[in-house]
Structures are given as C-alpha cells and as structure tokens.
Amino acid sequence: MKYILSILIVALLSAFKIISINSIHQFKVKSIDGGIIDFSKFKGKKILVVNVASQCGYTRQYAGLEKLYEANKEKLVIVGFPANNFGEQEPGTDGEIVQFCKARFGVTFPMASKISVKGDDIAPIYKWLTSKEQNGVLNATIGWNFNKFLLDENGKMIAYFPSKVEPDSDEIAKYIK
C-alpha cells in the first residue's frame, strides 16, 4: 500500500509540475515475482528498459537481451516490462511469463510485473520514459513490443531504440562500451 501511495503522490506532483523527475532512479515497480524493483539500486550502471511480449515476432530478442546482460552485468542492467498492448501478444499471467522466459531463453535479468506501456492506463514509469516533459530528453511513441530505452549511470535518458534495433546492434553497443 505504501508503494502505491508513493507512486500516486509522485505522479500527482509531477502532473501538476510541482516536481520534475529527471532520473529513473526515482521509480520502484512491482517485479514479476512479486517483489519490488527499486531503480535507485541501479545507480552506477546503465539501464536498458524494454517492453516485452512472449508471442511477438520480436520475442527472439529475449536471447539477445540475455546475452547482452550476461556480457555486461558489471555495468548494465536490463529490465523487461511485459505488456499486452499490441495484438494481445502477452496474454499470460506473471507466472506464465516467468516460466516461458526462463525455459525458452534462460532469462536472468530483472522482469517487472505486466503493465501497460501506452494509452490511458500507461504505467507511470512509461509515462516518464516517453515524455520529454518528464524525462528532460526525448519524446517517444511506443508503437510495438521490444522498444528500448537506454539510461546512463545517473538514471538520465541517453537514447531510444525502436523494436527493429537488435540488442546486439552497434547502435546500442556504442553506448555500453
């Protein structure tokens, strides 16, 4: 309850421009296993946030995301956000999603509980990620699954990559080095 209340207060204050959140480190989200993902714990590492789905043409990117994560754990964390916003390609429960990701792709990077990444019910963290007014850097439109946001070690937005940009692409690698 305290977690939900703190999110609501931050969202209201931000909406009324009383505060401006310019770091992802301000966010805490429910993890897929029922715990909490506290983004402040990732200070000092780059963060790649990805909206994911199990029944999408891009689902194979889970393998590339896991490989990227394993190769760069000391300086990068990847956080997957399952979402059912596009073609109902993530219909499963959190438990089903975890089972699928571990069995099929060996996913070990943090995964959040299923959320909405667009529309009237957009999760506060995605509202922040997609709004220059909130993140201070860029506007982005989530048009499909596997969009990627890269943040620096201080939680500041660096770049946005659409679905077609693979996790092992030079476009992403140049920021991770």
Quick one: 68 exposed, middle or buried, by C-beta within 10 A (0-12, 13-18, 19+)?
Answer: buried
Reading the block at residue 175, the tokens are 């920021």
Own/partner pairs, 67-73, CB within 8 angstroms, 24+ separation: 67/167, 67/168, 68/167, 68/168, 68/172, 68/176, 69/108, 69/109, 70/108, 72/176
Q: Which of 56, 68, 78, 111 is catalytic?
A: 56
Interacting residues of 167 by C-beta distance below 8 A, sequence separation 6+: 48, 61, 64, 65, 67, 68, 148
Q: Catalytic site residue 101?
A: no
What positions carry a catalytic annotation? Answer: 56
